[in-house]
């Protein structure tokens, strides 16, 4: 059912309940429930109107990379991983960790997650960028305040029907033994796969499956997504090169700041949306930030089109 028909149906249901109430029926609870559903449908319709890129409806492949700072940044990267997994859960999306490299003491060195769901890429695309955390370090015996950085990159998953030419001679394929947390669930065979696309320097890997064949197939899917995004950015020219931004996950490049001490505040530096309810956001309730960033994207798009006329 399309959005218009769904809204029309919910509106009619609400009108019937109001008529029953006017006739003396005790339907206040039903009206309240129907009104909440209707409001939610309207919000969803407003959000759908912000999707205009051809890739917005695709599934997403999200990667997380900590910045300099060792354990501090690696722990922050793990916090972000949890936040996006919780977001996917809240939206009813399917999230699958394709690759995860644990830190030596705590946190993660990198992670790749496939997120499958309605407009997953469209919703998460604006999360790409550097995320900054300020807090009292749980790893500092002197309880000093630390600033940590981690970068999020989101790519649209490319379907098989999109032509992405990959020359086998351009690939360096390596296998290695997959690792597990704390030495548990470690594969005894070299089932993990790392693929390097030599012309672009793009490196992807997958160790989620026990089968080397399945890991290679998934790594190739990630590579196709990365190459698709790479080519799209080359064509548009205005997009910043991903590899350049990865080299400086630090001050001056962040899109969002998460302050947990000396006060609590999360602020998006592009849209200026902010909240002091940091626990809610870190638990995956990102809807306000995502909607604001999509509005910001559309505004920039319309402004750019106007200038080009």
Confidence band, pLDDT 50/70/90 cuts, at residue 100: very high
Shared domain check, 98 and 40: no
Shared domain check, 256 and 155: yes
Confidence band, pLDDT 50/70/90 cuts, at residue 107: very high
How confident is the model at residue 239, as a pLDDT? 41
Tokens of 124: 């998460």
Shared domain check, 140 and 281: yes
Q: Is residue 54 part of a domain?
A: no
Tokens of 157: 């998953």
Shared domain check, 90 and 226: yes
Contacts of 212 (CB under 8 A, 6+ apart): 175, 189, 190, 191, 192, 193
Confidence band, pLDDT 50/70/90 cuts, at residue 178: confident
Shared domain check, 149 and 107: yes
Answer yes or no: is pLDDT of 199 > 70. Answer: yes
End-to-end distance of the chain based on CA atoms, in angstroms?
A: 37
Shared domain check, 192 and 43: no
Overall number of domains in the chain: 2
| Phi, psi (degrees; rounded to nearest 5) at 308 | -80, -10
Shared domain check, 68 and 37: no
Q: Is residue 53 part of a domain?
A: no
Q: Where are the alpha helices (DSSP H) in 138-277?
A: 212-236, 242-246
Q: Could you read off the pLDDT of 74-85 as tens digits, one per residue?
A: 999 999 999 999
| Phi, psi (degrees; rounded to nearest 5) at 149 | -130, 150
pTM: 0.77
Contacts of 250 (CB under 8 A, 6+ apart): 67, 68, 130, 149
How confident is the model at residue 165, as a pLDDT? 84
Shared domain check, 225 and 129: yes
Shared domain check, 200 and 140: yes
Q: Is residue 55 part of a domain?
A: no
User: Are 10 and 37 spatial neighbours (Cβ–Cβ below 8 Å)?
Assistant: yes
Shared domain check, 65 and 44: no
Range of the structural domain that residue 41 is part of? 3-48
H or E element at residue 94? strand 94-102
How confident is the model at residue 249, as a pLDDT? 62
Shared domain check, 140 and 36: no
Shared domain check, 107 and 18: no
| Maximum CA extent, the chain | 77
Q: Is residue 18 part of a domain?
A: yes
């Amino acid at each position: 059912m399309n959005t218009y028909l769904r809204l029309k149906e919910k509106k009619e249901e609400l009108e019937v309940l109001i008529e029953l109430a006017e006739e003396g029926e005790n339907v206040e609870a039903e009206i309240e429930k129907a009104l909440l559903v209707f409001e939610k449908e309207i919000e969803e319709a407003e959000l759908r109107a912000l999707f205009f890129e051809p890739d917005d409806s695709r599934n997403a492949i999200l990667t997380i990379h900590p910045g300099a700072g060792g354990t501090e940044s690696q722990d922050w990267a793990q916090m972000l991983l949890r936040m996006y997994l919780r977001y996917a859960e809240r939206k009813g999306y399917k999230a699958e960790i394709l690759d995860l490299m644990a830190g030596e003491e705590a946190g993660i060195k990198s992670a790749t997650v496939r997120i499958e769901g309605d407009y997953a890429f469209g919703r998460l695309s604006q999360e790409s960028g550097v995320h900054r955390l300020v807090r009292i370090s749980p790893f500092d015996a002197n309880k000093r305040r630390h600033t940590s950085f981690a970068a999020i990159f989101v790519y649209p998953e490319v379907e098989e029907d999109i032509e992405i030419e990959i020359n086998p001679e351009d690939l360096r394929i390596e296998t290695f033994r997959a690792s597990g947390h704390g030495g548990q669930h470690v594969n005894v065979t070299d089932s993990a796969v790392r693929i390097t696309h030599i012309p672009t320097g793009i490196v992807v890997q997958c160790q989620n499956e026990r089968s080397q064949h399945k890991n290679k197939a998934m790594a190739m899917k990630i590579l196709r997504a990365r190459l698709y995004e790479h080519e799209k950015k080359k064509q548009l020219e205005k997009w910043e090169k991903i590899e350049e931004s990865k080299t400086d996950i630090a001050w001056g490049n962040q899109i969002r700041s998460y302050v947990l001490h000396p006060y609590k505040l999360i602020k998006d530096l592009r849209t200026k949306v902010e909240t002091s309810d940091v626990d809610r956001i870190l638990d995956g309730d990102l809807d306000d930030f995502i909607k604001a960033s999509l509005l910001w994207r559309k505004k920039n798009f319309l402004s750019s089109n106007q200038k080009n006329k």
